[in-house]
């Protein structure tokens, strides 16, 4: 059998995982009865009449998200309270029973239309835990109910990029115990929307392990699994109540993908990390938190650590009781988008004269600075240490670097360093462990003409699709 590290180096993302990763920065929208009851978890007994946004405008949400630089939106179509933001035919607990728009409203439809218009992808959160639905706890009946709701969402709202299943379940030991038939949910999604990622309690995207907005220093997308993706989708195991089945890896462990973990693995999967965090303390809107919207610096730190740490950032921005993104959040997000656009507008390394310790026949050093994601530099097979040097043509000042591996070939870099040449000597300016899809490095601005990226440890050989430099990462 192939050496496990070699195997790990050749695990690659599916087309749906790649498309998801390329979204980079996405919005989470928690909206529902909790918005009107000022709670985080509803009981399931709320009167649908409480849901009454006075000026809901999904276009306003999407315009704020787009200005922030987000490329997708995930809406809580149903949270744990069971209230559906679309007029589901399978429940009496939805917008249809609310006085909003005389019971004719459909938040999912409005958001889907706004996203299509603005070119953002739409994803949906559907809570498996349902505190309203009477069949909940009667496992086969609720599984059927859940699939019915899923089918509505999968067939009536256009293309979805993601179905997001939360693991929370607050029923105590005396509460109803529901055995989720995950395999049947996954099969339905694969059948009806094969391009959609199934996230968190699903095989395509894993939770980063915290809700604070950061990921690991080494965020590996290749991790050992209890079950392989193929096994899950082929329904090899029916142990739906086994948390390992739903989560597949212990997402809160600090070390998920090191050589030690790989050596012990039964099977390996591509299972990338998503960072979900709220712009406010709560997931739902609470007027009392209007002055606790995260600062620009905090949001930038989250952005650099997550998008720049081989994860997708899913930033929650909850609409208020009007059904609008509050002015404070909207202004903060537009400010954030402006800073990001300015920062990444001009790549000082683009087209630089590039040389490398070695390169194989078609993957020259210059491929790392040509601005094309599909071309990359790579040394010969088996070269685990290598360097890439850029001559910028003249002195330039920069305080931020962007490194990207060509993840279509796998995730390989384990440790790397950046140096600049000043007064004839190489001086270290930044170091990192893994790169993956994207690593953003911020450091005190330096002025230099020559820059060197050293790959100090890697699996088989590195592939570098991008090596970019920006003036500052402030």
Residues within the interface to ligand FUL (CB under 6 A)? 40, 166, 168, 276, 283
C-beta of residue 251 within 8 angstroms of C-beta of residue 209? yes
Q: How far is the CB of 55 from ligand FUL (least distance, A)?
A: 24
CA atoms within 13 A on the CB side of 143: 16
C-beta of residue 272 within 8 angstroms of C-beta of residue 310? yes
Distance (Å) of CA 28 to CA 296, 322, 346, 415? 18, 18, 29, 32
Decide whether 70 or 455 has the Cβ nearer to ligand FUL: 70
Decide whether 211 or 395 has the Cβ nearer to ligand FUL: 211
Q: Which residues contact 251 (CB under 8 A, 6 or more apart)?
A: 206, 207, 208, 209
Q: How far is the CB of 459 from ligand FUL (least distance, A)?
A: 33
| Spatial distance between the Cα atoms of 204 and 61, rounded to a whole number of angstroms | 27
Decide whether 74 or 418 has the Cβ nearer to ligand FUL: 74
Decide whether 274 or 347 has the Cβ nearer to ligand FUL: 274
Q: Terminal CA-to-CA distance of the chain, rounded, Å?
A: 48
Q: How far is the CB of 276 from ligand FUL (least distance, A)?
A: 5
Find the DSSP H helices in 198-295: 229-233, 243-247, 259-264
Decide whether 316 or 411 has the Cβ nearer to ligand FUL: 316
Give the residue from 399, 397, 402 showing the smallest Cα distance to 416: 402
Q: How far is the CB of 85 from ligand FUL (least distance, A)?
A: 14
Decide whether 88 or 127 has the Cβ nearer to ligand FUL: 127
The DSSP line for 71-139 is -EEEEEEE-TT--BSS--TT-S-BGGGSSGGGGT--HHHHHHHHHHHHT-EEEEEE-S--SS-TTTTSH
Decide whether 163 or 446 has the Cβ nearer to ligand FUL: 163
Q: How far is the CB of 283 from ligand FUL (least distance, A)?
A: 4
Q: Which residues contact 375 (CB under 8 A, 6 or more apart)?
A: 363, 367, 465
Decide whether 74 or 455 has the Cβ nearer to ligand FUL: 74
Decide whether 108 or 340 has the Cβ nearer to ligand FUL: 108
Q: How far is the CB of 86 from ligand FUL (least distance, A)?
A: 17
Angle 213-333-439 from CA coordinates, rounded to 5°: 45
Q: Give the nearest residue (CB) to ligand FUL.
A: 168
Q: How far is the CB of 127 from ligand FUL (least distance, A)?
A: 7
Q: How far is the CB of 76 from ligand FUL (least distance, A)?
A: 7
Angle between helices 58-68 and 327-343 (to 10 degrees): 30
Q: How far is the CB of 172 from ligand FUL (least distance, A)?
A: 15
Which residues, listed in sequence order, are joined to residue 454 by a DSSP beta bridge? 387, 417
């Amino acid at each position: 059998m192939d050496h496990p590290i070699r195997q790990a180096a050749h695990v690659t993302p599916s087309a749906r995982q790649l498309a998801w990763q390329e979204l980079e920065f996405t919005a989470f929208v928690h909206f529902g009865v909790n918005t009107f009851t000022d709670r985080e978890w509803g009981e399931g007994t709320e009167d649908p009449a409480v849901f009454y946004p006075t000026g809901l405008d999904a276009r306003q949400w999407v315009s704020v998200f787009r200005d922030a630089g987000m490329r997708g939106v995930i809406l809580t179509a149903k949270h744990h309270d069971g209230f559906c933001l679309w007029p589901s035919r399978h429940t009496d607990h939805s917008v249809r029973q609310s006085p909003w728009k005389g019971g004719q409203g459909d938040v999912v439809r409005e958001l889907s239309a706004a996203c299509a218009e603005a070119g953002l992808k739409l994803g949906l959160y559907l809570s498996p835990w349902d505190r309203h639905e009477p069949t909940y706890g009667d496992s086969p009946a609720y599984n059927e109910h859940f699939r019915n709701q899923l089918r509505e969402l999968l067939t009536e709202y256009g293309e979805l990029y993601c179905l997001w299943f939360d693991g929370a379940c607050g029923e105590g030991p005396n509460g109803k115990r529901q055995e989720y038939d995950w395999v049947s949910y996954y099969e339905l999604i694969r059948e009806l929307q094969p391009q959609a990622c199934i996230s968190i309690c699903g095989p395509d995207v894993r939770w980063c392990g915290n809700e604070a907005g950061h990921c690991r220093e080494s965020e590996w997308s290749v991790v050992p699994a209890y079950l392989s993706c193929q096994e899950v989708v082929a329904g090899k195991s029916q142990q739906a109540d086994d948390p390992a089945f739903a989560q597949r890896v212990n997402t809160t462990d600090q070390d998920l993908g090191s050589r030690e973990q790989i050596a012990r693995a039964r099977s390996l999967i591509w299972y990338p990390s998503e960072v979900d965090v709220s712009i406010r303390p709560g997931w739902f809107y609470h007027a009392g938190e209007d002055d606790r919207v995260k600062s620009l610096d905090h949001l930038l730190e989250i952005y650099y650590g997550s998008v720049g740490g081989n994860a997708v950032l899913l930033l929650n921005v909850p609409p208020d009781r009007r059904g609008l993104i509050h002015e404070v959040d909207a202004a903060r997000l537009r400010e954030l988008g402006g800073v990001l656009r300015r920062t990444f507008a001009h790549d000082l390394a683009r087209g630089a004269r590039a040389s490398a310790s070695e390169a194989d026949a078609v993957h020259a050093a210059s491929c790392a600075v040509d601005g094309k994601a599909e071309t990359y530099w790579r040394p010969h097979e088996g070269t685990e240490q290598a360097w890439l040097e850029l001559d910028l043509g003249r002195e330039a000042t920069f305080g931020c670097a962007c490194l990207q591996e060509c993840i279509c070939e796998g995730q390989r870099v384990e440790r790397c360093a950046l140096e600049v040449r000043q007064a004839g000597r190489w001086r270290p300016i930044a170091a990192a462990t893994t790169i993956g899809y994207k690593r953003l490095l911020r450091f005190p601005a330096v002025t230099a003409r020559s820059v060197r990226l050293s790959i100090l440890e890697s699996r088989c050989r590195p592939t570098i699709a991008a090596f970019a430099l920006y003036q500052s990462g402030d």
